[in-house]
Amino acid sequence: MTVLEIRDLSVSVTTEDGPKEILRGVNLTIRSGETHAIMGPNGSGKSTLAYSVAGHPKYHVTSGTVTLDGEDVLAMSVDERARAGLFLAMQYPVEVPGVTVSNFLRTAKTAIDGQAPKLRTWVKDVRVAMDELKMDPAFAERNVNEGFSGGEKKRHEVLQLELLRPKIAFLDETDSGLDVDALRVVSEGVNRAKAESDMGIALITHYTRILSYIKPDFVHVFVDGRIVESGGADLAHRLEAEGYDRFVSATA
């Protein structure tokens, strides 16, 4: 059983006009096997939360703590966090020219596990996972994210999720820009990964439609840098019907 605890987390970014506070005291606890949907309007700070947990250097933690099974996540480097079991499926995955997907996946798997995967089973695992995500095998020899369509990038993120088996994963708008078929394929990938490793998930999304594929245990409404309301799956339906207006005006 793994627990990620985010306590009173405040984060700012440096802008031309000085520091700008984006997160204002976020509290969130994610345990193994739990799926938390984090929903909120554009610009409310959802990606900032995910990047801050992953350790992106752009974001400065001004107060609060993040711990993974009691270990201080904020003291870890980006790669240490990943090796500790954290994963971020990015909203905008980065192109890495000259590095093939297959080389990248093997290097990442080796780093996470602390040893190279057994070649035969690894090649098969990759092939099966790609097949299930409806990715052309030719992708393995393409450069990471280079020239990938939006949907292909998202599949590639979920492919990594399946192969690297993190303990806690943030999925940042993994559903955006996907058509219905792709959404189903990607959601099934997430569900498979979860079933196999009992990971905890923070599913950042704008829309409720992914929630019919990936069932949340908890729904959090994220507005203006913090969680303003939490509830069960039914909260998502209310959000769909009512929008965020109620919360936005309440905090404005």
Partner 1 sequence: MPLLERSSRLTTPLPGASAHSHGMPFVPDQSRAERTSSYAVADFPIPHGREEEWRFTPVDRLGDLFRDEPTGLCLDWEEHLPAGVTISGITVEEWQRAGLPKPGDRAAAVAAAHSGGVGVIDIPAGTELTDPVRITLSGSEGQLVHGHLWLRVGDRARTTVVLGHTGHAAYSEVLSITAGDGADLTIVTIQEWDDSAIHLGEHDIVVGRDATVRHIAVTLGGQLVRLNTNATYAGPGGTFEGYGVYFADAGQHLEHRLFVDHDAPQCTSHVEYKGALQGESARSVWVGDVLIRARAEGTLTYEINRNLVLTEGAQADSVPNLEIETGQIRGAGHAAATGRFDDEQLFYLQARGIPEDEARRLVVRGFFADIIAKIPVAELQGHLTQAVERELARTAYAAPEK
Ligand X SMILES: Nc1ncnc2c1ncn2[C@@H]1O[C@H](COP(=O)(O)OP(=O)(O)O)[C@@H](O)[C@H]1O
Applying CB under 5 A, which residues contact Mg ion? 47
| Residues 164-181 as b or e (16 or more Cβ within 10 Å = b) | bbbbbbbbbbbbeebeee
Is the Cα dihedral 105, 108, 113, 118 positive or negative?
Answer: positive
CB neighbour class for 40 (10 Å; exposed up to 12, middle 13-18, buried from 19): buried
The residue type of 118 is K
Does 45 help bind ligand X (rule: CB under 6 A)? yes
Does 88 help bind partner 1 (rule: CB under 8 A)? yes
Name the segment binding ligand X (CB under 6 A); options: 38-46, 124-132, 183-191, 231-239: 38-46
- Compute CA distances 86 → 59, 61, 179, whole Å: 17, 18, 28
Distance in angstroms between the alpha carbons of the first and the last residue of the chain? 38
Name the segment binding partner 1 (CB under 8 A); options: 13-21, 27-35, 79-87, 121-129: 79-87
Does 130 help bind partner 1 (rule: CB under 8 A)? no
Does 124 help bind ligand X (rule: CB under 6 A)? no
Given the complex with partner 1, which of 112 and 183 has the nearer CB atom?
112
Judged by CB under 6 A, which of 3, 5, 13, 96 binds ligand X? Answer: 13
22 binds, among ligand X, Mg ion, partner 1, none (CB under 5 to 8 A by kind): ligand X
**Which run of H or E residues covers position 204?**
strand 200-205
Given the complex with ligand X, which of 2 and 12 has the nearer CB atom?
12
The residue type of 102 is S
The residue type of 238 is R
Does 154 help bind ligand X (rule: CB under 6 A)? no
Residues that bind ligand X (CB under 6 A): 13, 15, 20, 22, 40, 42-48, 58
Residues that bind partner 1 (CB under 8 A): 54-57, 77-79, 81-83, 87-88, 90, 93-100, 103-104, 107-108, 111-112, 143-144, 160, 164
